Structures are given as C-alpha cells and as structure tokens.
Homo-oligomer: A and B are copies of this chain.
Amino acid sequence: MNRLAEALLSTPEMCAVFSTEAWLQRMLDAEAALARAEEVAGVIPAGTAGAIAAACRAEYFDAEEVAVQGAVAGTPVIALVRMLSERVTGGAADYVHFGATSQDIVDTGLMLQMRDALDLLDGQLLRLGEHCATLADRHRATPTVARTLGQHAVPMPFGLKAAQWLAAVTHHIERLRALRSTHLVAQLGGAGGTLAVLGAHGDRVTRLFAEELRLAAPDLPWHTRRDGIAEAVCALGVLAGAMAKVATDLVLLAQTEVAEVGAAAQGDKGRSSAMPHKQNPIDAALARTAANHAIGMVPVVLAAMAQEHERAAGGWQTEWNAVPATFGATAAAVGRVTDAIAALQVDTERMEAVSRLTDGRIMSEVISAALVPRLGRAAAQRAVADASRDAAETGRPFREALRDRLASLNVLSHDEIDALFAPERAAGSASLSIDRALDRFQTVQPR
C-alpha cells in the first residue's frame, strides 16, 4: 500500500490500534483470557493458565509471519497457536486454545481492538466538539446567511452553523458510547458454535472469558450473526457522512467568492505546485476523501453479512480488512475536520458583507410573513416578489422598491417598512438553538 494512501485513510493512533502487532497482541489477550477462564472453571489443569498467559506477549513472536501464514492458511490462528504452544513451557502448551476455534480468537481480538478504536474516536470527537462549541458561542451574533440549494435564503448567525456541527458531534459521541457499552461482545463457540469440547462448562467459561476481557458475554455464539459488527461499521459510516457535511460546508465557505472562512498558512499545507498565491482548504478536502472511503466500506460489510451456515467462506474474512479500514478512514475524517476547524480563520467582516449581497432580499421570508395579516398570503408574497424583480431590473435598492410597492397597496409606513428589515426580526430561535447544542455537548463531557 502506498504510504500516502495509508496516511490519508487513518491516523497514527488508529494505525497503532490496528497494526499487525496490536492485532496479534489482542488475539493473544484472548488466548490468555481463555486459559484463565478455563482454569477457573476447572476445564484445564490448575497452573496452566499462568504459563500460557506469560507467553501471550506479541513481542515474543513475529507478527508479520503470523499475518503472512494466515494469508496462506486462510486463518492466522493456526500459526499463532503453533507459535504460542512452542513458547509455552511445560505441559501447559497442550491447553493453548483449548476448545476454541479460530473465529473465537479473531472475533474477540477484534472486539478488543474496537474498544481501543472507539476510545480514540471518543477523544477525537470531544476535541472537535470543543472547537465547534467555541465557534458556536463566540459567533452567536455574527451575521451571515443561510443558504438553501446554494442560494442566499435568510439571515442566520455563523454560530448556528457551528452549533449544527456540534450537535452532530455530540450525537456521535453518544452513539459510539452506546455501541461501546452494548456491542463489544466476546466470541466463544468452538468449532461449530456448540462449545462441545467444554461439555457442561461452556456457559461458565464464556462468562469468565468475557469478564476477564471486560467484554459483554454473548447470549449465544455469534459466528455467523454479524449484526453487531455491521451496526458498528454503519455507525462509523454515518459519522463519516456527518464529517463530510461539515467538510463540504468548509470547502464552500472558503471559496474565493465566499471567503467567509480560510485556513492559516502552515508550511506546505494547502499550497499549490503551480500557483504561488493559493491557499487550498486541504484538510476539509481530505476529510471528504476519507469519508468517501469509510462510507464505501459499509455496503461491503453489509453484503458480507450473508454468512452461510456456521462459518462463512469469504464473508467473514471480508471483515478482517473492512472493519479496521472503516475505523481508519473515519478517524482520518474526524481528524481532518478537527484540524480544519482548529485552524479556521473566521472573517466576520466578510460575513457581514456577504449577508448584504442580496440587498435585503434575504429578509423576504420574514417580510412577507409580516405582511400576511395586512394583505393575505398570496398578495404578501406577490408584493415581495414583485419588489425583488423590480429592484433587479431597475438596479435600485430592494427596500425602496418594496416601499413603492407597499405604498401602492396602501399598507405600512416607511418606518414600519424599515422596521421589517431590522436584523433582530431575523433572529428567531437561533440563539436558543445554539444554547441547546452547547448544553447537550456539556452532558457528554468527561467530569
């Protein structure tokens, strides 16, 4: 894999969680916990678990070799068990991996990696939320415009945009925490999901095994029931989609013609190889790149859910890359958006100027609503639309055109019309919405 792609589609921290070495260690953690659980349950001889656990350290083994052999054998666990058994001293080696199947170890290891990965994302999102919250609060009165289908619609404070971003961040903190508490489930079923080797002890060993690893214990093994994995991947896909929304906003707000926000120059970041004057919104752009990849993994995992019988020939193995890749790309998307927002230079003067670009037409929603009691809705909308067109054709100010129109209809004095254009008429619930977003974010803050 090209290192550029790798750097774009993960973060160093997430790479570490899903590195070959960490993966091996997490599988070894599962083997160690299994031995301990089986010793407590009396399934394997006393003293065995200690010997096994002592050998369950990734640095004792060649992780890459486990991976390469796994690609040949179709499962990494054959090589892992062989190497581990060679390392374990005394008779304990016979009880390595006792009663388990490859998938028990791979799936449980993945759960442990997912826990680490969810913790990383939680931290990332809290940081991103902080930045959004700061923007939301600081700019709760900074005027700019709401845009619908790319067209100026109505006035809104820039803080409300940031509050919307914040609301998404808070939502995903909550969603991922919910997943962390319910979807990290140990896997233990033995070759066919019956735990036959463990006889009457299967259930007890399962519970002890899960407890050792601080995972939830499964009601029953889930070798080919992948709802939990698929839901976690979907949650990441939705989070990536939310990041793509923020990144798209940032790219659009940074357009030369809009220029409401920009990024501070930082070395080569955003520079062009041909145009010395440029500053590209590169973090936002690459957040979209990362989000595209995260979303792309979702249908791969969903389509792989049709895992036949008690172990799939291809579907399960699809998750081995797809799940880490989704975490990586999602983390990259969150990270890039965070970098973009952390370095965001908000040009409030430009926002003010932008909000005047339509010469007051962005007040047309509130003005026409205000005219309804006098004119009825149809006439109110017509008056505003006619004034708008009149101003456009003649080049004179919209407010003036509206005055004439309303004078001809015998409604409202000049002063009353001026009052319609007062910015506070456009405030609506914006400030309350910002407070709501800030309050909700408070509730997810660590104490």
Contacts and interface: CB of A to CB of B under 8 A. Distances in A.
A268 B72 contact: yes
A193 B160 contact: yes
A359 to B, nearest CB: 10
Contacts of A251: 149-150, 313-314
Nearest to A196: B428
A64 interface: yes
Interface string A411-437: 000000000000001111110110011
A422 to B, nearest CB: 12
Interface in A218-255: 219-222, 224-227, 230-231, 234-235, 237-238, 240-242, 244-245, 247-249, 251-252, 254-255
A4 B257 CA distance: 35
A277 B385 contact: yes
Interface in A356-391: 357-358, 361-362, 364-366, 368-369, 372-373, 376-378, 381-382, 384-385, 388
B272 A437 contact: no
Contact of A1 (B1, B242, B248, B440): B1
A358 B192 CA distance: 15
Majority SS at the chain A contact face:
helix
B293 A71 contact: no
Contacts of A6: 1, 67
B278 A224 contact: no
A263 B210 CA distance: 37
Interface stretch (A52-60, A114-122, A127-135, A167-175): A167-175
Given A168-B225, A237-B234, A428 B249 contact: no
A334 interface: no
B191 A153 contact: yes
Interface in A279-335: 279-289, 291-293, 295-300, 302-315, 317-318, 320-322, 324-325
A8 interface: yes
A274 B191 contact: yes
Contacts of A252: 150, 255, 308-309
B194 A436 contact: no
Contacts of A307: 245, 248
A187 to B, nearest CB: 13
A254 to B, nearest CB: 6
Interface in A33-54: none
Nearest to A74: B282
Interface in A146-161: 146-156, 160
A154 to B, nearest CB: 4
27 contacts: A1-B1, A1-B325, A2-B20, A3-B68, A72-B267, A74-B285, A85-B377, A97-B273, A146-B191, A149-B311, A149-B312, A150-B252, A153-B272, A153-B275, A154-B194, A164-B224, A190-B274, A196-B426, A199-B425, A224-B245, A241-B303, A248-B306, A248-B308, A277-B361, A285-B312, A289-B317, A293-B300
